[in-house]
Amino acid sequence: MNEADLIIVGGGPAGLTSAIYSARALIDTVVIEKMLPGGQPILTSFIENYPGFPEGISGPELAERLESQARRFGAKIITSQPVEEVLQVDKGFEIKTEEGSFFSKAVIIATGTSPRKLNVPGEETFTGRGVSYCAVCDGAFYKDKVVAVVGGGDSAIVEAIYLTRFASKVYVIHRRDQLRAEKILQERAFANSKITFIWNTVIQSIEGGKKVELLKLKNLKTEEVSDLPVDGLFVYIGSIPNSSMVRNLVELDENGFIITDNSMRTNIPGLFAAGDVRSNTFRQLATAVGDGAIAANSAEKYLGELIWKR
Ligand code: NAP
């Protein structure tokens, strides 16, 4: 099991799609996932722009379907094993994890992104005690409570709307006076009587006793500082790439995303990247899945050429 023709690092939509394509092409395929397979959809309440599901689909359900489809074609999925480093070795790659090394002829990095932190006092102390990065995991704890969401992108607005199922009031705190989120989401949020927007405002600190009790806010236009009592804070301010395992190996952009060509090839032959961890991509489920299929196809061609060269 610690050797395969193709190792896919990351079991989100991009990685699992690569696995579906490569395992179905009868390539010996192993997926190494740091937690549970499924990736970002596991943490997403509801997905309504993924083609083929006109009524939408819950993120966790889609994640489960992707996983079972990959397994059905024979992909092996190893869970709870964070990959620490990918090294180029004779005839391929060594994939180092805490529990040992794996070897493969080709690798696809599909490790996605992690939530960006606010980096304000109180954030670390209250993580898990009122500060959360996952509304679908923690939203139900806030029945009839007051919560805030920070951010102005699609994630912040989708999850603010989701949180209105439980909370009595949802504040959306955004540093500008215009949202980045899609218009259709904006309209829904503006029409929701449980959501109140706090514009041009940043969080200076998160305060409380055993749990979060209030946010210290600063209005960037007026410089006014105020207290906002809340029971919870959901942080949705974008994401950072999970590319540390290849930072000494492949070319990254200035923000740490992996640079590839249109065939998902990195600058290292045999090493491919797919999905959100890729530079300059439109970060959507549909594009991650597309990347995953292309990466698998490119890896298949690469492995075929290796046989000819022998
Ligand atoms: P995003 O689009 O990068 O938005 C991040 C938001 O957080 C922006 O509004 C940004 O403000 C704000 N922000 C960034 N750093 C901040 C800081 N330090 N303090 C306060 N605010 C900060 O991230 P995202 O919403 O997670 O979306 C990521 C990708 O997934 C996007 O491509 C998005 O379209 C996609 N997505 C799509 C859907 C969908 O249903 N279509 C759902 C979720 C995600 P500024 O606006 O001022 O920069």
Residue 282's pLDDT band (cuts 50, 70, 90): confident
pLDDT, tens digit, 9 for 90 and up, residues 8-41: 999 999 999 999 999 999 999 999 999 999 998 8
- Give pLDDT, residue 280: 84
Reply yes or no on whether the pLDDT at 42 is more than 90.
Answer: no
Atom 39 of ligand 1, nearest CA residue: 154
pLDDT averaged over the chain? 96
Residue numbers annotated as active site? 134, 137-138
CA 152–ligand 1 middle distance (angstroms):
6
Which ligand 1 atom sits closest to the C-alpha of 47? 40
Between the CA of 205 and the centroid of ligand 1 the distance, in Å, is 21
Tokens matching residue 244 = 């540390």
Ligand 1: nearest atom to the Cα of 157: 25
Would you list the domain boundaries of the chain? 2-114+239-309, 117-235
- Six-digit token string for 103: 């070897």
309 has pLDDT over 80: no
Q: Is 238 in the pocket of ligand 1 (CB under 6 A)?
A: yes
Quickly state the pLDDT bin for 310 (edges 50, 70, 90): low
Residue 305 class from Cβ within 10 Å (0-12 exposed, 13-18 middle, 19+ buried)? exposed
Q: Are 11 and 77 in contact (CB under 8 A)?
A: yes
pLDDT over threshold 80, residue 231: yes
Taking the centre of ligand 1 as the mean of its atom positions, its distance from the CA of residue 86, in whole angstroms, is: 29
* Nearest-CA residue for atom 7 of ligand 1: 237
Q: What is the mean pLDDT of residues 132-141?
A: 92
Candidate of 154, 188, 282 to mutate for ligand 1, largest count of ligand atoms within 8 Å of Cβ:
154
Atom of ligand 1 nearest to the CA of 284: 35
pTM of the model: 0.87
Local confidence band at 1 (pLDDT 50, 70, 90 cut-offs): low
Query: Which residue would you say has higher pLDDT here, 189 or 45?
Result: 189
Percentage of the chain lying above the pLDDT 90 cut: 91
Choosing from 118, 155, 239 the residue with most ligand 1 atoms within 8 A of its CB, the one to mutate for a pocket test is 155
Give the distance (Å) from ligand 1 centre to CA of residue 123: 19
Query: 116 C-alpha vs ligand 1 centroid, how far in Å?
Result: 10
176 touches ligand 1 (CB under 6 Å): yes
CATH number of 2-114+239-309: 3.50.50.60
Spell out the residues 6+ positions from residue 204 whose beta carbon is closer than 8 angstroms to its own.
Answer: 120, 121, 216, 217, 218, 225
pLDDT in tens, 86-126: 999 998 999 999 999 999 999 999 999 999 999 999 999 99
> Tokens at residue 215, please?
């946010």
* Residue 307 confidence (pLDDT) above 80: no
Distance CA 8, CA 39 (A): 13
Number of residues written out for the chain: 310
203 lines ligand 1 (CB under 6 A): no
Ligand 1 within 6 A of CB of 149:
no
231: exposed, middle or buried (C-beta count within 10 Å: 0-12, 13-18, 19+)? buried
Helix (H) or strand (E) holding 77: strand 76-78
What is the Å distance from ligand 1's center to 193 Cα? 23
User: Average pLDDT of 51-69?
Assistant: 95
Our answer on whether the CB atom of 180 is closer than 6 Å to any ligand 1 atom is: yes
Collapsing DSSP states into helix, strand and coil, what is residue 279?
Answer: coil
- Our answer on whether the CB atom of 49 is closer than 6 Å to any ligand 1 atom is yes
Q: State whether the Cα torsion 43-46-48-51 is positive or negative.
A: positive
**Which stretches within the chain are classed as H helix?**
13-24, 59-72, 123-126, 135-138, 154-163, 183-190, 285-309
Q: What is the mean pLDDT of residues 247-256?
A: 97
Class of domain 117-235 (CATH, top level): alpha beta
